[in-house]
Amino acid sequence: MSRIGLSPITLPNEVEYTFEQSVLNVKSSKGNLSLKIDAGFTIIKDNDNTILIKRPNDSKDSKSKHGLYRSLIANMFEGLSKGFKHELELHGVGYRASNSGQKLDLSLGYSHNIVLEICNEVKVTTQTEKGQNPKIILESFDKELIGAVSAKIKSFRKHDPYKGKGIRFVGERGIRKAGKTASS
């Protein structure tokens, strides 16, 4: 059984929160996030810089949501203090990425370029260096949103296990399969 929900969350100095009517609002200089929590769950300030999430009872549903809410709340505080960063790499001959503001322009071997308008909460930059794969760098304070944007970009050209082409996270290893062999 997981005991993630029992561990305390350390509060960063630059982040403020309010908990009223089962809604947690967290804000800092980077932005604002809110989370609606089921009735019965409470947030208790343990000492000056930690908080605990208390569940209403020991039912299976409450125990599973206890760990979920603790993880979501910890991600909110971490995102609004440090932020999250995803780096994607384009593997393939002729694959290119460029951006102008929040518009990401991808050339992925199709007959047309893919232009993706990225929301303002996610900051996008691209890097192209000679001899290196093009990179897309995403930064945001919302972990769920940056994950959704990364997944959308990766879905445009999934990793091909035979040729190794596609979009991957930096450092992600793709499985390579052996192709067909000609019989004599």
Domain 4-81 = CATH 3.90.930.12? yes
Q: Please state the pTM of the whole predicted model.
A: 0.88
Portions of the chain given CATH number 3.90.930.12: 4-81, 84-169
Domain range 84-169, CATH architecture: Alpha-Beta Complex (3.90)
- Helix-, strand-, coil-residue percentages of the chain, each rounded to 5: 20, 35, 45
End-to-end CA distance of the chain: 56
Q: Name the 3-class secondary structure at 69.
A: helix
Measure Cα distances from 76 to 26, 57, 80, 149 in Å.
7, 25, 6, 17
Q: pLDDT per residue over 29-88, tens digit each?
A: 999 999 999 988 999 988 878 999 999 998 989 988 999 999 999 999 999 999 999 999
Amino acid at the residue 49: N
Q: pLDDT per residue over 82-119, tens digit each?
A: 999 999 999 999 999 999 999 999 999 999 999 999 99
The CA distance from 46 to 37, in Å, is 19
